[in-house]
């Protein structure tokens, strides 16, 4: 019998976990997304009460209606904007995510992007490989911007935002400003962080790192107006969700020198990006949504989702419900 429908290739450890628990599964081992109609048809046919989805699966009302047997959608991600949570809740379906296990890994990438964009690593590396380095010069072609002691603005001081702020404050002596719905008392007390309004953050930060979920409120929260408030030397980093930045405005701001650079891991229309972005090199670093992309973390995320699915199947409260 099939209890769990796994939409994409998963780890052997996950399959072993289900085997040991006596939980039957269908596993799309191909690691390519099933087209929505095919996913709906196969999910309905499987009769599985649990769906283990990834962020490229659109779990909307149409899919949920095609599978009335569903009890749980266990998303293998901390973000769940690919799932219509309201539609699931209305149908009595539990939705779960994978918080905590990817916090430090994603903060590592945010900081790596910040550093790489500031110090122009993606320009310097191909320069070196191409044999263009002839001599050390005071005015080398890849002079960058200091990170140490600068001001770091964190938009969204949740787990990942706070982990990124901690790296800046403790590792790089940065002054931390943050914008969010709540005070972060530990950050205020331990690292002298300050909660400020968005405009203050935009105007005073040297580096701005985005850590908000994608919602109606955060959609395009960084557009031409906000970019214009930033320092011309500022670098923006996004490891959250692409549509938080209006990408066309960001490209224009980078082209016109409104801000200095960007480190981007997420894009508005993944896997595409605004055509202009690929032609921008100076202080611009682009990665393909690998914030949580270490082997250990992707395994932890997958196991967490499996445990969430199993809990619901065993009539227990899952560790990470979002509804």
Binding-site ranges for ligand DGY (CB under 6 A): 55, 77-79, 102, 289, 291-292
Phi-psi region of 67 (alpha: psi -120 to 50; beta: other; left: phi over 0): beta
Q: Which is nearer to ligand DGY, 79 or 261 (CB)?
A: 79
Strand 284-286: give its sheet, edge to edge.
194-195, 175-179, 151-155, 207-210, 235-238, 261-264, 284-286
Q: How far is the CB of 260 from ligand DGY (least distance, A)?
A: 26
- 3-state secondary structure at position 36: helix
Contact 82, 102 (CB under 8 A): no
Known active-site residue 270: yes
Known active-site residue 216: no
Q: Which is nearer to ligand DGY, 214 or 230 (CB)?
A: 214
Cis peptide before 271 (omega within 30 of 0): yes
Q: Enumerate residues 6+ apart whose C-beta is below 8 A from 247.
A: 267, 268, 269, 273, 274, 277
**DSSP, res 83:** B
Q: How far is the CB of 228 from ligand DGY (least distance, A)?
A: 28
Q: How far is the CB of 124 from ligand DGY (least distance, A)?
A: 27
DSSP for 98-163 reads: --STTHHHHHHHHHHHHHHHHHTHHHHHHHHHTT------TT-TT-----TT-EEEEES-SHHHHH
Q: Which is nearer to ligand DGY, 20 or 216 (CB)?
A: 216
Q: How far is the CB of 322 from ligand DGY (least distance, A)?
A: 12
Q: Which is nearer to ligand DGY, 122 or 292 (CB)?
A: 292
Contact 31, 78 (CB under 8 A): no
Known active-site residue 226: no
Q: How far is the CB of 132 from ligand DGY (least distance, A)?
A: 35
Residue in 166, 241, 283, 300 annotated catalytic: 241
Q: Which is nearer to ligand DGY, 188 or 270 (CB)?
A: 270
- List residues with catalytic annotation: 241, 270, 289
């Amino acid at each position: 019998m099939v209890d769990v429908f796994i939409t994409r290739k998963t780890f052997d450890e996950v399959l072993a976990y289900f085997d040991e628990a006596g939980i039957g599964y269908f596993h799309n081992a191909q690691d390519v997304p099933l087209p929505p109609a095919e996913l709906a048809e196969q999910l309905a046919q499987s009769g599985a009460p649990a769906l283990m989805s990834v962020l490229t699966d659109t779990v909307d009302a149409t899919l949920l209606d095609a599978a009335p047997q569903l009890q749980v959608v266990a998303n293998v991600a901390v973000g769940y904007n690919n799932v219509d949570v309201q539609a699931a809740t209305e149908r009595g379906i539990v939705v779960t995510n994978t918080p905590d296990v990817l916090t430090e890994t994603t903060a590592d990438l945010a900081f790596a992007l910040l550093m790489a964009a500031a110090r122009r690593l993606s320009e310097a590396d191909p320069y070196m490989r191409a044999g263009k380095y002839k001599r050390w010069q005071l005015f080398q072609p890849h002079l960058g911007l200091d990170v140490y002691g600068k001001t770091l603005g964190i938009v969204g001081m949740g787990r990942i935002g706070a982990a990124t702020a901690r790296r800046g404050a403790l590792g790089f002596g940065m002054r931390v400003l943050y914008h969010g719905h709540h005070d972060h008392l530990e950050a205020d007390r331990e690292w002298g962080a300050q909660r400020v309004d968005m405009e203050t953050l935009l105007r005073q930060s040297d580096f701005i790192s985005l850590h908000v979920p994608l919602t109606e409120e955060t959609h395009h929260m960084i557009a031409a107006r906000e970019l214009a408030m930033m320092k011309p030397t500022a670098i923006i980093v996004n490891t959250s969700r692409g549509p938080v930045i209006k990408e066309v405005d960001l490209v224009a701001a980078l082209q016109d020198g409104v801000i200095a650079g960007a480190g981007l891991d997420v894009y508005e229309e993944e896997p595409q990006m605004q055509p202009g972005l690929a032609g921008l090199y100076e202080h611009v670093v682009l990665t393909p949504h690998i914030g949580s992309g270490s082997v250990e973390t992707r395994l932890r995320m997958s196991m967490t989702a499996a445990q969430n699915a199993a809990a619901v199947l065993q009539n227990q409260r899952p560790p990470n419900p979002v509804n």
